[in-house]
Structure 1
Amino acid sequence: MSEIKRPNESLIVNTDQVMINDLNNYNTLFGGVLMKKLDNNATLSARRHSRVKECVTASTDSIDFLYPITQSDSVCVESFVSYTGSKSMEIFCKVIAEDMISGERRMAATAFLTFVALDEDKKPIKVPEISPETEEEKFLYESGKERAETRRIRRKHSKELTKMIQLEKPWEKGDVDYDDYVSGIK
């Protein structure tokens, strides 16, 4: 019989302040800084759920930036396992920005990442199933199968695409003069 866990058993909550070096030229949080925070949180949720040393990011479905995050905000990232396959875990992440002056809280971003748990030989292993409890968890779980199918189709397309993509550098193809390529003529 396989082990079944509740999503809140994999819950990771991490809150940080926004530092000036985290800001882009619009004085909002760099998307890449937030992506790193999401991946770090999601990794811990995956490891907490599967109780293994290593979990690897298999995909990032989407990161929907809903509201800009500024230096006066704190950034709270919450993540938990929202759906599982036999060897993969979908991690839902939500980002709550809180204005530290006014106390106003807003949903700044959401994301879905998929992880695979690995054994000592770096081979994928079976992960526990989940049993959602809250309305939020149930909604995410019930729509998880559709997202998993979308990921499967997207991955198949990506594999087909890699067969068509050339690996040569443009200046190594022989039909482009490097000096023209660099200067933007061709």
Structure 2
Amino acid sequence: MPNIMTCRQTLAVTSHRILASDLNEHETVYGGRLLEMLDGTASISASRLARSQVVTASMDQTNFIAPFELNDSFCIETYVSGIGKRSIEVFAKIIGEHLKSGERFIGLTAFLTFVAEEEITFTTLEAQSAEEKFVCQGYQQRQQVRMQNLHRQQQFNRQLSLKHPWDL
């Protein structure tokens, strides 16, 4: 009997209020700060499935859709959207809210891949909501593209010099 886990069982959610210290020179949240928080939340989703140490392998299809500004809030939601032997794909979205009006908006989406220390014991991921089904149905295609990109990156890396510029 296959081990089954639902996307919902891997859901991780964090909420943040935007303060002046989060802003860049454009008066919006600094992108690097968003990526740091996104990675931390997504790692929780991956760990809920793996039940072992996981490390971030890639962050793909990261789309900054709308900015977050002072006195907005945002909620990071992540869940597992695909499972390999040791790899775990996590879908992430950041939902912003203008606290004065209550208007909500999608600010960022991304797919992150984590690698587990040990082989994953769950063989089936069950998507239940319409969003989960939509996101999970594209996993195989995203995985193929990811592997092609990895191969190209490895070829690219072999062409890079490790010498310091002043040694050339």
Above 0.5 in TM-score? Answer: yes
Q: Deviations over 1:99-148 (max 9, x none)?
A: 111111000010100011114xxxxx224230111111111111111100
Q: Give TM-score, length-normalised by structure 1.
A: 0.87
Sequence identity (%): 35
Q: Distance in 1 between matches of 2:32 and 2:61?
A: 13
Q: CA deviation at 1:158?
A: 0.7
1:80 counterpart letter in structure 2: Y
Match of 1:178 in 2: none
Rg larger for: 1
Change in 2 beyond 3 A, CA 1:35/1:85 = same
Q: Deviations over 1:60-95 (max 9, x none)?
A: 112100001001210100000011112211100000
- Asked if residue 77 in structure 1 is aligned to residue 109 in structure 2, the reply is no
- Asked if residue 25 in structure 1 is aligned to residue 25 in structure 2, the reply is yes
Q: Secondary structure at the match of 1:133?
A: coil
Q: Distance in 2 between matches of 1:13 and 1:19?
A: 19
Matches within 5 A, 1:54-73: 54-73=53-72
Q: Distance in 1 between matches of 2:134 and 2:146?
A: 18
Larger RCO (alpha carbons 8 Å, 6+ apart): 2
CA contact 1:117–1:127 (8 Å) conserved in 2 = no
CA contact 1:89–1:127 (8 Å) conserved in 2 = no
Q: Distance in 1 between matches of 2:154 and 2:147?
A: 11
Change in 2 beyond 3 A, CA 1:106/1:126 = same
1:47 counterpart letter in structure 2: S
Match of 1:141 in 2: 136
Matches within 5 A, 1:102-117: 102-117=101-116
Q: CA deviation at 1:12?
A: 0.5
Q: Distance in 1 between matches of 2:35 and 2:66?
A: 15
CA contact 2:14–2:75 (8 Å) conserved in 1 = yes
Q: Which ranges of structure 2 fall in alignment gaps of 5 or more residues? A: none
Q: Distance in 2 between matches of 1:171 and 1:127?
A: 50
- Deviating 4+ runs (over 3 angstroms): none
Matches within 5 A, 1:122-133: 125-128=119-122, 129-133=124-128
Match of 2:162 in 1: 167
Match of 2:87 in 1: 88
1:126 counterpart letter in structure 2: I
Match of 2:5 in 1: 5
